[in-house]
A = this chain, B = another copy of it.
Amino acid sequence: MQKLVTNHTGLTDSGRPRVIIIGGGFAGLEIAKALNGFPGETVLFDRYNHHTFQPLLYQVASSGLESSSIIFPFRKRFVKQNDFYFRLGEVISIHPNDNCIETSIGSVKYDYLVIASGATTNYYGMKDVEDNSLPLKSIIDAIKLRNKIIRNFETALLTDDPEMMDSLMDFVIVGGGPTGVELAGALSELKRHVFPRDYKELDMNKMDIHLVESGSRLLGGMSEIASQKALEYLQKMGVHVHLNKAVKSYNGHEAVLNTGDKLVSKTMVWAAGVKVQPFPGISSEALGRGGRIKVDEFNRVKGFENIFAIGDAAIMEGGDPKFPNGHPMMSPPAMQQGQLLAENLKRLQHKQSMKPFRYNDKGSMATVGRNKAVVDLNVFKGQFRFQGLFAWFLWMFVHLISLIGFRNKFFVFFSWIWSYFSYDKSNRLIISRNKEGVS
């Protein structure tokens, strides 16, 4: 039987300029959309055939949302955009001298290359943590985590051994950023409202949720008051928050902290840091903190004319006056960079000069649970810090409008209304044949 994958991307040279975008996250999706009308080809490479709305992954992992309502097929999004081409594949290396990239489906030439490949989980070299903990960056990570949480409780019914019981019913979340805070809150809602109904045979007081943060406060990127409120909310919800503590080792059953404390759990979620995967072809001199690619104020990679990097993958040191150390690794700067770069590439085509990037920071927000969120807003030349019910509504509104497509917005909206009044999280599903199976 013949080999079915060719070494040929199916992209033929049209003679018109070709922009290749690596990665369809927030940054890559925005520039691909904004390149509509660009006099040339737009090619998007991604290892998945869908965009993933990462801010809501934790709700998939905690059975609140179904996977398909927070992901969206790229082809569906770009059905109406001319000269747009999607390719399912991974980029292996970049060859700037030949203006081409090598990918898992063959090599292809570019006129402009846009690296929007985002960041991956950073285990800071701790192999045992990497092997035994779960990340939460992709939809598959979320489904795996959901499978594991539910499976743990099914298994907890089978044991009398108290340590085994702890290991199955306790959870360790590492990293006090939005992901860690939101997941901890969602798990405590499962503990309070859902699992007591599902697992009457178990003593839910035995379920402990640990949130470990090496810094002195949660949500380090936000205001002091937001951090303080998030901590209060989580503690009120029964989450054990460990500040100024770091995980030193984890064998899949017991986590040891730098303070010597030990936490027994079969399930550790690692949301403690990210790094950028280096691409062969981009020299290490071009890399800054966390492996992020150094770019100038036009998001052009240092030392290259036609290679750009945007979003988490890029770090604009000294370029943006208000952010001399680069921009936070969040979706807003990524999206704004994508939009401006699209405009700048069009300007280059029209022999106009590029505009420098200035991040318009409208603030940030995180939710902890029903009626509980924290918001830092920078609008109308003012700073607004508020928490609680209104913040929660604002959080939901902003996330709803940010989802792609009416259908996904509608399903998520309906699921939220439903959960709010039923106190239920309906997708308590193990979709997997093997124990740790994907989905």
Chain A residues near B (Cβ < 8 Å): 1-2, 4-6, 8-10, 48-50, 66-69, 71, 73, 75-76, 79, 85, 87-88, 105-106, 139-140, 143, 150-151, 154-155, 157-161, 163-164, 167-168, 197-199, 201, 251-253, 266, 405, 407, 410-411, 414, 418, 424, 426-434, 437-439
Q: How far is the CB of A410 from chain B (nearest CB, A)?
A: 7
Are A158 and B6 in contact (CB-based, < 8 A)?
yes
Are B428 and A49 in contact (CB-based, < 8 A)?
yes
State which of B9, B198, B411 has its C-beta within 8 Å of the C-beta of A411. B411
Are A79 and B2 in contact (CB-based, < 8 A)?
no
- Roughly how many angstroms separate A95 CA and B75 CA in the complex, as a whole number? 54
- Roughly how many angstroms separate A48 CA and B160 CA in the complex, as a whole number? 23
Residue numbers in B under 8 Å from A414 (CB-CB): 410-411
Assess A157 versus B10: contact at CB under 8 Å? Given A150-B49, A437-B438.
Answer: yes
State which of B251, B252, B431 has its C-beta within 8 Å of the C-beta of A439. B431
Are A428 and B155 in contact (CB-based, < 8 A)?
no
Q: How far is the CB of A89 from chain B (nearest CB, A)?
A: 9
- Roughly how many angstroms separate A418 CA and B408 CA in the complex, as a whole number? 12
Are A430 and B159 in contact (CB-based, < 8 A)?
no
Assess A68 versus B427: contact at CB under 8 Å? Given A4-B155, A140-B432, A437-B438.
Answer: yes
Are B140 and A429 in contact (CB-based, < 8 A)?
no
Residue numbers in B under 8 Å from A151 (CB-CB): 88
Q: How far is the CB of A416 from chain B (nearest CB, A)?
A: 12
Q: How far is the CB of A372 from chain B (nearest CB, A)?
A: 24
Are A2 and B48 in contact (CB-based, < 8 A)?
no
Residue numbers in B under 8 Å from A67 (CB-CB): 66, 68, 431
Are B438 and A433 in contact (CB-based, < 8 A)?
yes
For the A-B complex with A79-B197, A407-B418 known, give 17 more contacts whose Cβ atoms are closer than 8 Å: A2-B163, A4-B266, A5-B158, A6-B158, A6-B161, A8-B158, A8-B160, A10-B158, A49-B430, A50-B430, A68-B426, A75-B428, A405-B426, A407-B426, A411-B411, A432-B438, A438-B439
Residue numbers in B under 8 Å from A71 (CB-CB): 429, 431
Q: Which of A106, A139, A430 has the most CB of B within 10 A?
A: A430
State which of B9, B251, B430 has its C-beta within 8 Å of the C-beta of A88. B430
- Roughly how many angstroms separate A105 CA and B159 CA in the complex, as a whole number? 10
Are A5 and B155 in contact (CB-based, < 8 A)?
yes
Q: Please provide the 6 A-B residue pairs with the shortest distance between their CB atoms, ordered closest to farther.
A: A439-B439, A66-B68, A75-B198, A88-B154, A10-B157, A1-B253
Assess A168 versus B88: contact at CB under 8 Å? Given A433-B438, A439-B438.
Answer: no
Q: How far is the CB of A40 from chain B (nearest CB, A)?
A: 17
State which of B1, B9, B75, B199 has its C-beta within 8 Å of the C-beta of A251. B1
Q: How far is the CB of A27 from chain B (nearest CB, A)?
A: 21
28 contacts between A and B (CB under 8 A): A1-B251, A2-B253, A4-B155, A4-B159, A4-B168, A5-B155, A6-B158, A8-B158, A10-B158, A49-B154, A49-B430, A66-B67, A66-B68, A68-B426, A68-B427, A73-B428, A73-B429, A75-B199, A75-B428, A76-B426, A85-B201, A140-B432, A405-B426, A407-B426, A431-B439, A432-B439, A434-B438, A438-B438
